[in-house]
Amino acid sequence: MTKFKFLAAALTLAMITAASAQTSTTFRDANGRITGTVTTDSNGTKTFRDGSGRTTGTATTDSNGTTTFRDASGRTTGTASSHGDEPVQFRLGAQALDQDLGGIAMIDCGTEVRRCLSAFKGSSVLKFVVASLWVFGSLVGNAKAQQEFIVTGDKIINSRVHQEFVRLSERIPISQLKRRFARYKITSTAGEDCLVCATVSRNAFQFEVHCDEDGIVVIGIYCRDNACVDALGNRVGGSLRQALGNEADCDAGDELTCESMRLTGLSYIVRENNKCTLRVTESGKNTGIPACARIAGFSIVKK
């Protein structure tokens, strides 16, 4: 029974942290006592620990979007996966949960983890584990719908599929860009607002990649979509002052932009508003950022 509760707790932690962007989360009971923690390393691997600090399991997500849960011994306890816009598919590692389940290694639950309940007859503990995985799946679906692209000082990258990225100054012809973003529509133009422009889009989301005259070297990346967020958590529509502070180096070129002091190379595109204006000063002097100013987008441009 203790073993089952232990694994159920691990899955419960997993379902809660699946939608979290934090690198470390602490869980407490109603009395404030620590019941568990989850940490996420630079590779995206989540490690779950109980209230005593003992490792209870891990969760890793591969390039195909499949999340695999393992216990402290490395045995697979469950998976959740989705491809493109398809529903999340679940599998529960029944054998890893109970050695006496007659050699069942994995049970396919389809898109509804609740289908696995019948496989466990009257075992209320195992039903609880399945229910936990089902709730986790709901959160995975929500997180999937809220997929973000992270903008840093030199690249834009999918928060869930790290192979989908573009880095400033990299050599990537449009044909190769299409292969890297195979799930997306890529359209390219030349000689308009840039030398060679490529728009990467999928459903309602899109961002722009500007290349040199040969269409190979990336010289600019722009995102004005609500799904874009910088590495510090600032979003399109968010407070410009919160991102920059009270003043910043701004440029009133083709569009008003202000440089980030904390993310070198990144600039914030300022939302134009007659009721909230930025008075850009002469070169060498910072511009005051009013509290009403908002972020219209992000730009990374080769100097």
CATH number at residue 156: 2.60.460.10
Between 21-25, 82-86, 102-106, 260-264, the lowest mean confidence (pLDDT) is in: 102-106
Tell me which of 145, 165, 195 is where a domain ends.
145
Same domain, 217 and 77: no
Domain count of the fold of the chain = 2
Same domain, 133 and 178: no
Domain that holds residue 13: 2-145
Same domain, 15 and 123: yes
Same domain, 93 and 221: no
* Band of pLDDT at residue 34, cut at 50, 70 and 90: confident
Chain-centre distance of CA 268, in angstroms? 20
Tell me which of 145, 169, 204 is where a domain ends.
145
Same domain, 138 and 217: no
User: Of 112, 128, 159, whose CA–CA distance to 10 is shortest?
Assistant: 128
Same domain, 18 and 133: yes
Sheet containing strand 218-223, edge to edge, reads: 185-190, 196-202, 205-211, 218-223, 295-301, 266-270, 256-259, 250-252
**167-211 confidence digits (pLDDT tens):** 999 999 999 999 999 999 999 998 767 889 999 999 889 999 999
Tokens of 105: 């290694």
- Cα(296)–Cα(240) distance, integer angstroms: 9
Same domain, 167 and 258: yes
User: Of 161, 154, 109, whose CA–CA distance to 136 is shortest?
Assistant: 109
pTM for the whole structure: 0.55
Tell me which of 92, 114, 145 is where a domain ends.
145
Same domain, 276 and 138: no
Same domain, 192 and 291: yes
Tokens of 158: 């999918």
- Cα(236)–Cα(221) distance, integer angstroms: 15
Cβ–Cβ under 8 Å, residues 242 and 248: no
- Cα(112)–Cα(62) distance, integer angstroms: 21
